[in-house]
């Protein structure tokens, strides 16, 4: 049996942790984000005895949560290496070098380490979200997609791929834009952020996040309000400018705490009837 010293050594051998995960009693990974305080706010379906898929798993927090909640089988998919990200043109040249320097060239190191320390049965697959299909991964009762869509150049294509393998339920969480969520709360809007340094593309408001899910053939059953995913212990220090302080206060007011504002939906595959073609004018 591994000692706490052994576990800590394995954790420290991973240069970057995206998720804060308790891998042994009282021992957690130093993640960039910590989903533990908000995981029960998400509108989970009953996953007991179900075949489940976690899309864009990163270090695997949601895959391991599916396992903890009683899923019979969990498959976790993510990209094989940093070159496969949807890099904007101006970031492509230096982006891979930056990721290799900060995260390390072994993109799945955190996932595999947490998997080993938890003695997990999650099946790990290196696969782009765009390539998910019944032929590549089979079909699933439950699919989870957490904080991924904003990083994709074509989130609708990714959601359509997810729809092709989802039999019962989709739990989809996404970062949302607070300004659009307040000022245009009833109109689907998204901010294009591809010129920024943080590899984001489309950041929607909640109604746009919901509409993206329904437009590919899902029907929303439940959804959350805006909640914030807290920053983990290894996250970059917060700025202290007046603008930073105002932004933090807004997040606390509108999302309940400081962190990254999110919105989550629980959806099911909708009946796909024939569309009625309007008469020719």
Is 281 among the domain residues? Answer: no
Which carries the bigger pLDDT value, residue 196 or residue 281? 196
Is 203 within 8 Å of 150 (Cβ atoms)? yes
Handedness of CA 7, 29, 102, 75 (dihedral sign): positive
Is 276 among the domain residues? Answer: no
Domain that residue 69 falls in: 4-269
Is 53 within 8 Å of 72 (Cβ atoms)? no
Is 57 among the domain residues? Answer: yes
In this prediction the pTM is 0.92
Q: How many domains does the chain have?
A: 1
- Take residue 75 and report the two structure tokens written for it: 């498959």
The model's pLDDT over 27-55, given as tens digits with 9 standing for 90+, comes to 999 999 999 999 999 999 999 999 999 99
First to last CA, the chain: 75
Is 275 among the domain residues? Answer: no
Is 278 among the domain residues? Answer: no
The model's pLDDT over 92-130, given as tens digits with 9 standing for 90+, comes to 878 888 888 888 889 999 999 999 999 999 999 999 999
**CATH number of the domain encompassing residue 168:** 3.40.50.150
Is 279 among the domain residues? Answer: no
């Amino acid at each position: 049996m591994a000692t706490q010293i052994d576990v800590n050594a394995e954790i420290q051998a991973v240069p970057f942790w995206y998720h804060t995960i308790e891998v042994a009693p009282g021992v957690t990974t130093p993640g960039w984000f910590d989903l533990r305080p908000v995981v029960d706010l998400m509108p989970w379906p009953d996953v007991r005895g179900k075949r489940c898929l976690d899309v864009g798993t990163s270090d695997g927090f949601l895959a391991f949560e599916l396992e903890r909640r009683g899923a019979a089988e969990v498959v976790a998919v993510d990209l094989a290496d940093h070159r496969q990200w949807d890099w904007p043109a101006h970031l492509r040249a230096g982006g891979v070098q930056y990721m290799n320097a900060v995260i390390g060239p072994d993109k799945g190191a955190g996932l595999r380490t947490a998997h080993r320390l938890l003695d997990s049965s999650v099946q790990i697959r290196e696969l782009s979200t765009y390539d998910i299909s019944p032929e590549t991964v089979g079909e699933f009762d439950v699919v989870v997609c957490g904080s991924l869509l904003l990083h994709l150049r074509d989130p609708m294509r990714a959601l359509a791929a997810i729809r092709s393998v989802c039999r019962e339920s989709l739990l989809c969480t996404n970062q949302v834009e607070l300004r659009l969520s307040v000022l245009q709360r009833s109109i689907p809007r998204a901010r294009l952020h591809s010129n920024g340094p943080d590899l984001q593309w489309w950041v929607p408001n909640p109604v746009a996040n919901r509409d993206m899910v329904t437009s590919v053939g899902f029907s929303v059953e439940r959804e959350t309000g805006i909640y914030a995913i807290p920053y983990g212990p290894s996250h970059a220090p917060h700025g202290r400018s007046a603008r930073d302080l105002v932004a933090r206060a807004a997040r606390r007011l509108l999302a309940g705490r400081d962190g990254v504002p999110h919105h989550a939906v629980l959806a099911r595959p909708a009946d796909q009837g024939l569309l009625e073609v309007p008469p020719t004018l």
